[in-house]
Structures are given as structure tokens and as C-alpha cells.
Amino acid sequence: MTMDEEKEGFAAEYALGTLDADERAQADALLLLDPEFTAEVRRWERKLGELNVLVAPVEPPALVWERITAGLPEAGPREPMRLPDVAVPAAGAAGADIIDLTQRMRRWRGLTVMTGALAACLVGLVVARDYRPDLLPAGLRPKLAPAAQYVAVFQKDEQSPAFVMSVDIDKRMVTVRQVAAEKHPDKTYQLWIATQPGTAPQSLGLIEKEGFTVKATLAAYEPRVINEATFGISLEPEGGSPTGQPTSPAIHAKLLQVTPPQNP
């Protein structure tokens, strides 16, 4: 085992928190004196931290925490940190075999702890995918069924639609396309929503004179309300209705689901 391998294993155990008090004191001293060891510890902390974010923290019950603290010895006054005197045996001496075996056991212990941590993270990942996919990074989340698509057609006459509107209910997004509606250079079209029959319509904003109009204007409405609402489009003065209500007869439409329902 080379010195670099021993230093890497020592840094890994320090980051994992598996060192005893004397070993941790040595590691703390190395952090102050050895930049390479410090960099190795930071590398392991980043590597293990990436695994840690995949598992949600769990607060132990108060009763369990009290039992844990009751079983710990009372902390006495701490002595100043000092490096223990370590005698390095000469090459070939019997003590050299003991030190080498101790180093190997420390490395195996670190690998065992890391393997257990990886297994725990894998279990947490599987559980999170099923029950809390929102806690996972985007690349690890399970693929969800596509959201249902809803469309409303505002008819100009029996043959031509004036506007076509699609709604993403999950994102509360509205997209309106002007199709065969007559263009007026000094006027603009305005979109409205009436959540119930007989209620005053609320403005959802102006419609662009060319191309598509995309607006996130349904954030204040629940999906059920959006699905059951009546939508209207009226021709208004440039800049929109000055009264907050349609000033001309509106053409109306309701949403129609155009994709089949997804199986649960």
C-alpha cells in the first residue's frame, strides 16, 4: 500500500466520520499542515455530499433522542490537541507487519462503511422515486404520463374558426392563435373567463395581433374551475377594455379535452 493510497483512505474515513478520537486528532492536524490531504478530504466530502442530498433528513422522535443522550458519557474538559508520539518500526521489524495490517483493516473498514452508505442511498432513491419524486434531481425523477390537452375553438362562422385556444391546466398556461378573425389596426382582441354562468367575466389579457399569444394568466384558478369555465373573446379599443368588462359582443367557447384519459 502506497503513501498516497493510505492518505486517500484516511481522508475518506475522516469525511465519513469513522475515525476514533486519536485518529481524528491526527487528521485535524494534517488538515492544517498538508494541503494535499486537505484537498483529498474536500473531494470526499463533495462526493459523499452528492449522495446525501438524495435522502431526506429524518428527525428522531424525542423519546429516542433522550435515550441516545442518556447513554452518552458526560463530556469532561478537553485537553489541548497534540499529536501522539508514534514510533515507526524499522523495515522488516515485527511491528511493521502490525502497522501494515492495521492500515489494511482501516482501509477495509472504510470501504465497508462506504458500501453500506451507498446501499442506504440506493434504498432511499427507490423509495423517493415512488413516494417523493419531487425530492430527486430532474434526471432521476420517473417519467410521468403526459398531461391531458384541452382546446377551445372560437367560431367566426359555421365553417371558419376565428381563434383556437389551448390550455395547459397543470401549468396554468394559455395559448391563443388568431386564425380567421378580422384584423383591426386601431383595435385589439381581449380574452375573458367566466367561472360560473351569470358571473362577471375576468380579463385574461390582450391577444397579439400576429402569431401566437402565450400567457400564464390562470395561476389564480383551480384546475376544476378552469375546466368548467366559459371563455370569451371581444373586440376592444387599442390597449384593452377601459371598463374592465367587454365593450362589444364576445364570442364564447368552452374547453374540450382532446387527448384520451390516462390510466391511473
What is the distance between the alpha carbons of residues 41 and 33, in angstroms, rounded to a whole number?
13
How far apart are alpha carbons 128 and 113 in whole angstroms?
22
Enter the CATH code of domain 150-257. 2.60.40
Per-residue pLDDT of 187-225, as tens digits, reads 999 999 999 888 899 999 999 888 788 888 888 888 889
Global model pTM greater than 0.85: no
pLDDT digits (tens, 9 = 90+) for 30-86: 888 888 889 988 888 887 766 655 555 667 677 777 777 787 766 555 555 554 454
> How do 251-254 and 187-194 pair as beta strands?
unpaired
Helix, strand counts (H, E) of the chain: 6, 9
